[in-house]
């Protein structure tokens, strides 16, 4: 009867995520939710912050619920205590789901903040929990002062302890898996599985790219593109310094054909975005590069695809990036990538085949950039190798199969 019909519909899965915006973590949660929905799971996403105007367009295909946005994001000036506030918001969200939402679910998938796991453990009927670890949060902050160390100690302990309470732990790269093992010393018995983020290629295939006439001056033949949020850890200055070095390597005629587009997620609520953007603009003026650099703040998926379609090569500047979806998107759009030789890009990019892996050094980057100018056919050969690579290693099918397997195992 009804019981069997319910079973046939597949397990119900509830995703819990702190802030459902437009970063790589959000893209992954969205792809995971849509993937399970396509396999017949009943899926919903719960978050503390959701703005339909500042999110991926496909998130409208999901049930997204919001609770706890009235709680503060940080304690006063300069964004302090953000980690603590994030914990409080997520614990509130978890309590809300259990006590007030009336929702039933078989599996809870949470990521970024593990502090909500013990709350779900309190449920009368024990829920299965999958924790997707993009990166141990405790490594993402500097501890320069004694006070900061004091403040972080319990938070770090809670992170390690609560992460260990998940039924299944999955990470986004082998790089992150190693960091996980070296960071959470009490969890040595856990071997996290690697589930690479996938690329939602249908969203790329369905877009007809437009040209960049309105973005860059006429006569530019070589367009380099940096895509990264306006955050200091993304090291965007490296792209500007590499461009400056490149100028010294080219004659005037070639230099006039060069342009760099700095595109990145930008949120007025985030102080660092605002400050860093100003700093980068100042650097451009200082280097006298303003005729060769265009800044783009927050762009649509369609614009991103047009950018990738029209550019010579992507400059990917962060070091120790945990995974980094941008190189994968670029390779799929047959656009080579110059990236720093650490972290996730070591697993996504094949050096000298789909792009170049360099030291985080302007000279190295500019040498790699110069190769595309000296040999204009390089883009096409590296570009097609990149697309093959993405189809082999980062397809949505592989991602969906693997994820669905985790869910099935948990609900056996």
Please write the tens of the pLDDT for every residue from 335-394.
999 999 999 999 999 999 999 999 999 999 999 999 999 999 999 999 999 999 999 899
| Element (DSSP H or E) covering residue 339 | strand 337-340
Q: Are residues 165 and 217 in the same domain?
A: no
Residue 141 has pLDDT above 70, yes or no: no
Whether residue 3 lies inside any domain: the answer is no
Lookup: tokens for 101:
């939402």
DSSP string, 142-175: ---SHHHHHHHHHHHHHHHHHHTT-SEEEES-HH
Q: Are residues 145 and 207 in the same domain?
A: no
Whether residue 5 lies inside any domain: the answer is no
Q: Are residues 51 and 21 in the same domain?
A: yes
109 DSSP β-pair partners? 15, 130
Q: Are residues 283 and 372 in the same domain?
A: yes
Whether residue 302 lies inside any domain: the answer is yes
Q: Are residues 101 and 143 in the same domain?
A: yes
**For position 173, which CATH number holds?**
3.40.50.2000
Instruction: State the pTM of this model.
Output: 0.81
Whether residue 1 lies inside any domain: the answer is no
Q: In what order do the strands lie in the sheet with 12-19?
A: 63-66, 42-49, 12-19, 107-111, 128-133, 168-171, 193-194
What pLDDT is recorded for position 10?
Answer: 87
pLDDT tens sequence across 155-181: 788 889 899 999 999 999 999 999 899
Q: Are residues 80 and 192 in the same domain?
A: yes
Q: Are residues 126 and 223 in the same domain?
A: no
Closest CA to 239 of 100, 132, 337: 337
Q: Are 93 and 68 in contact (CB under 8 A)?
A: yes
Whether residue 4 lies inside any domain: the answer is no
Whether residue 59 lies inside any domain: the answer is yes
Q: Are residues 172 and 209 in the same domain?
A: no
For helices 237-249 and 362-374, give the axis angle rounded to 10 degrees.
Answer: 50
Q: Are residues 187 and 272 in the same domain?
A: no
Q: Are residues 158 and 284 in the same domain?
A: no
Q: Could you give the residue ranges of the DSSP H alpha helices within 219-313?
A: 237-249, 252-255, 271-286, 301-310
- Mean pLDDT over 316-328 rounds to 93
Q: Could you give the residue ranges of the DSSP H alpha helices within 164-236?
A: 174-183, 201-205
Q: Are residues 284 and 138 in the same domain?
A: no
Phi, psi of 194 (to 5 degrees): -100, 120
Whether residue 28 lies inside any domain: the answer is yes
Q: Are residues 108 and 132 in the same domain?
A: yes
- Mean pLDDT over 226-254 rounds to 96
Whether residue 160 lies inside any domain: the answer is yes
Cα dihedral sign, 239-242-244-249? negative
**What's the CA dihedral at 299, 300, 306, 307 to 10 degrees?**
20
Q: Which domain holds residue 150?
A: 10-198+396-411
Mean pLDDT, the chain, rounded, equals 89
pLDDT band of 125, cuts 50, 70, 90: confident
User: How many domains in the chain?
Assistant: 2
């Amino acid at each position: 009867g009804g019981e069997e019909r319910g079973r046939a519909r597949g397990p119900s899965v509830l995703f819990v995520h702190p802030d459902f915006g437009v970063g790589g973590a959000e893209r992954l949660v969205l792809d995971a939710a849509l993937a399970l929905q396509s396999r017949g799971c009943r899926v919903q996403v719960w978050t503390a912050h959701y703005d339909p105007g500042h999110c991926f367009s496909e998130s409208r295909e999901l049930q997204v619920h919001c609770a706890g946005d009235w709680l503060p994001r940080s304690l006063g000036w300069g964004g302090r205590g953000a980690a603590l506030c994030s914990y409080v918001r997520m614990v509130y969200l978890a309590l809300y789901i259990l006590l007030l939402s009336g929702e039933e679910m078989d599996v809870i998938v949470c990521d970024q903040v593990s502090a909500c796991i013990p709350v779900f453990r309190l449920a009368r009927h024990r829920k299965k929990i999958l924790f997707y670890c993009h990166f141990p949060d405790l490594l993402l902050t500097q501890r320069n002062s004694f006070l900061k160390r004091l403040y972080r100690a319990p938070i770090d302990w809670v992170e390690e302890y609560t992460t260990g309470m998940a039924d299944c732990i999955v990470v986004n790269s082998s790089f992150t898996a190693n960091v996980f093992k070296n960071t959470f010393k009490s969890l040595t018995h856990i071997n996290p599985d690697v589930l690479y983020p996938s690329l939602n290629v249908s969203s790329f295939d369905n877009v007809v790219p437009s040209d960049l006439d309105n973005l860059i001056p006429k006569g530019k033949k070589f367009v380099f593109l940096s895509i990264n949020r306006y955050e200091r850890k993304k090291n965007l200055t490296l792209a500007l310094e590499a461009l400056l070095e490149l100028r010294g390597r080219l004659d005037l005629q070639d230099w006039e054909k060069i342009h760099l587009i700095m595109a990145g997620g930008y949120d007025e609520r985030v102080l660092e975005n605002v400050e860093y953007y100003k700093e980068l603009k100042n650097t451009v003026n200082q280097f006298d590069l303003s005729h060769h650099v265009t800044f783009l703040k927050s762009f649509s998926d369609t614009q991103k695809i047009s950018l990738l379609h029209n550019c010579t090569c992507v400059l990917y500047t962060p070091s120790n990036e945990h995974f980094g979806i941008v190189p994968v998107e670029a390779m799929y759009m047959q656009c080579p990538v110059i990236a720093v030789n650490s972290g996730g890009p070591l697993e996504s990019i094949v050096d000298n085949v789909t792009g170049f892996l360099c030291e985080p050094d302007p000279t190295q980057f500019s040498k790699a950039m110069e190769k595309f100018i000296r040999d204009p056919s390089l883009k096409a050969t590296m570009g097609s190798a990149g697309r093959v690579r993405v189809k082999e290693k980062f397809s949505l099918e592989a991602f969906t199969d693997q994820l669905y397997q985790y869910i099935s195992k948990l609900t056996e």
